[in-house]
């Protein structure tokens, strides 16, 4: 077991009650931020759903910074659950730091975002409305698969998935930033990037059970999409329903992902703190 993982487990194990309260508060803050999405159920009030991104900026960004400070406090022998978690100290600075990191992640995600918009607007969005030349879609997929539409559809899906890799790399690259900010040393991780990325990957391993569930239902849905593409007709494209899979994935997230999130974040927190201590010793 790595030093970071062992230390993170020890920190949380010695604060079981605080860890539960910490997790409950973090989940509650995120639920508050997404509640305005319920307005989408009422067309006349749908515009109020724009409160969600606003709440993410005004509530979640400083909350994440506060959580990083609390984890650094716990890693240093202090409290994990305290008024620090709802502190408004340096409120504006924390929002700006969060926006800066968010903008960096958007840049890493550009290939995925651009291709997503392109697929929806040019291919699927218009195909559903019956506005796309279905024969052109079939020809494109057939040519991509060397004459095999199923193979072409599979290749298209794989190429789409590959565009996620830069975003995932960006998440790893910037994973220690908020903890460095929490220690008032924004440039702390610059000389320890490899260590921080390794700590991030160790945290990702904790999510393997949840990711396995996502992969299982994701692959099943993609097969259904490929079958739908193979049956394209003049009436447009009819995509399979996501309902059942979404419920299973949501359940898996609650049972398999949420409980390990504090440990996953604490691994990075401990790693960044070790980087600080190594700098002091040097």
| 222-262 residue pLDDT tens | 777 777 766 655 455 566 677 778 889 999 999 999 999 99
Position 134 confidence tier, pLDDT thresholds 50, 70, 90:
low
> Do 63 and 96 meet the contact criterion of CB atoms below 8 Å apart?
no
Neighbours of 188 (CB within 10 A): 21
pTM beyond cutoff 0.75:
yes
Q: Where does residue 250 rank: exposed (0-12), middle (13-18), buried (19+ CB within 10 A)?
A: exposed
Structural domain that includes position 277: 3-281
> Do 213 and 270 meet the contact criterion of CB atoms below 8 Å apart?
no
Tokens for 138, please give them.
């079939």
For the chain, what is the domain count? 1
């Amino acid at each position: 077991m790595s030093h970071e993982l062992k230390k993170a487990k020890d920190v949380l194990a010695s604060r079981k009650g605080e860890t539960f309260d910490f997790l409950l508060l973090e989940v509650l803050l995120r639920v508050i931020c997404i509640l305005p999405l319920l307005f989408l159920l009422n067309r006349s009030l749908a515009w109020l759903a724009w409160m969600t991104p606003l709440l993410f900026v005004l509530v979640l960004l400083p909350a994440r910074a506060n959580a990083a400070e609390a984890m650094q406090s716990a890693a240093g022998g202090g409290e994990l659950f305290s008024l620090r978690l709802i502190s408004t100290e340096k409120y504006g600075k924390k929002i700006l730091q969060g926006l800066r990191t968010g903008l960096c992640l958007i840049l890493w995600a550009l290939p995925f975002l651009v291709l997503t918009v392109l697929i929806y607007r040019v291919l699927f969005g218009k195909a559903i409305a019956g506005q796309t030349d279905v024969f052109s879609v079939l020809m494109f997929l057939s040519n991509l698969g060397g004459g095999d539409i199923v193979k072409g559809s599979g290749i298209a899906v794989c190429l789409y998935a590959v565009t996620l890799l830069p975003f995932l790399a960006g998440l790893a690259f910037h994973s220690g930033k908020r903890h460095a900010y929490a220690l008032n040393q924004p440039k702390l991780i610059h000389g320890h990037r490899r260590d921080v990325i390794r700590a991030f990957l160790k945290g990702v391993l904790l999510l393997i059970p949840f990711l396995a569930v996502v992969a299982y239902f994701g692959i099943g849905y993609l097969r259904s999409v490929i079958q739908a593409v193979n049956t394209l007709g003049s009436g447009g494209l009819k995509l399979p329903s996501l309902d059942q899979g979404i419920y299973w994935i949501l359940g898996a997230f609650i049972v398999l992902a949420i409980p390990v999130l504090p440990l996953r974040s604490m691994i990075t927190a401990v790693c960044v703190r070790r980087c600080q201590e190594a700098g002091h010793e040097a």
